[in-house]
Amino acid sequence: MKNLESLNVAGKRVLVRVDYNVPIENGVIEDDTRITASLPTVNYLLSHGASVILMSHLGRPKGVDEKFRLEPVAAQLEKVLGKPVKYIASKPASLETAKALEGIKPGEVALLENVRFEAGEEKNDPELNRSLAALGDAFVLDAFGSAHRAHSSVSGVAGLLPHAGGILLEAEVKALGKLTEHPVAPYIVIIGGAKVSDKLKVIENLLPKVDRMLIGGGMAYTFVKATGGKIGKSIHEDDYMDTAKRLLEQYPGKIVLPTDTLAGDAFSNDANTKVFATNDIPDDWEGMDIGPDSIKAFSSALAGAKTVFWNGPMGVFEFEKFATGTNAIAKVVAELTGAYTVIGGGDSVSAIHQSGQADKISHISTGGGASLELLEGKILPGVAALD
């Protein structure tokens, strides 16, 4: 992948695809991590004499939608960047946008409107690719969270302009590459979340490489039921039970499942709770978090680990009553000494930040789907376009 140093950007207008798909509530940005993560690339380009034109999507709008405008993002970017940001409210490929950018000078920054307001964005439309490319002299992809999408602003423009990967993108690819190319043993992977189907390819690709795979969250109950366990009303996928059984037989001793479960009598933070053996949950109860014995077992399995990847919560993390397992694992991972630790996935990232020890993690990924696809062994369209 070509990096920033391979581009001569002095006096050039550089189109930069960033990932500013941030949570916004009532016009207020609740978490600006993805905005601040783009600053190294933006500042590099500015310091090397470029004018910077930023492109991003926000949400899943169907055409122009007022609630998905990037104006709040522009205001927050201006605040963290410490210099004016020109927000252009017209559609990115419009004549109005092209006109608004005519006078942009080296050292200046502009943010285009939501690229998904353009109908051709998600179709990688050749005409849209040409219109966007005409706005700049070079292209930089720094949106790792979107690099698994073959969209116009991600991979389409790259083929029409001199291009490179940004600092964030390069760091993500290198960090995640360490998990698949000669990881240092003992190598422990922690996988959580609701469904086996969402992460089956990651599980299958990483199992041959790891020493242990700790499986929590809703997906654990599919594995438990596959072994004949009683899981009550716990979420599971009957269609994947044969797959779960096959993996347990194919990798004996590698997959570690919860031995006990904190269950609730309703899917609510107000539910009554009780701890049961994970393979003996009564019919009217639902597994909501790993239990205290499982927390100890998972913590013990992590002791001495030299490489750790964690994706997905251990339980219904949204409810405080059932966040104990996820928070406990976050603390253990953060406190590992001499280990290379990588966290990807919204709830896992939230948990490590809540633990107050995020600065002890080697790498916190900004891309959920993109990081999983990379670890599945897939080639990301955005990265491939920069080859």
The residue type of 200 is L
Short-list 110, 150, 128, CA closest to 14: 110
Spatial neighbors of 54 by CB under 8 A, at least 6 apart, are 16, 18, 20, 38, 42, 77, 109, 110, 111, 112
Catalytic-labelled residue, pool 86, 130, 195, 201: 195
d(CA 279, CA 261): 9
Q: Note if 130 is an active site residue.
A: no
Instruction: Please say if 195 is a catalytic residue.
Output: yes
Handedness of CA 313, 315, 318, 319 (dihedral sign): negative
- State yes or no: is 34 an active-site residue: yes
User: Rounded to 5 degrees, what angle do the CA atoms 135, 118, 381 make?
Assistant: 75
The single residue of 12, 13, 34, 212 carrying the catalytic annotation is 34
Task: Give the N- to C-terminal CA distance of the chain in Å, as an integer.
Answer: 5
Known catalytic membership, residue 369: yes
Strands 109-112 and 187-191: unpaired
Q: Virtual CA dihedral for 229, 234, 239, 243, nearest 10 degrees?
A: -50
- Phi–psi pair at 28, nearest 5 degrees: -110, 130
Active-site entry in 2, 209, 274, 346: 346
- Structural tokens at position 87: 């927000």
Q: Which of 178, 254, 369, 378 is catalytic?
A: 369
Catalytic residues, which ones? Answer: 34, 195, 346, 369
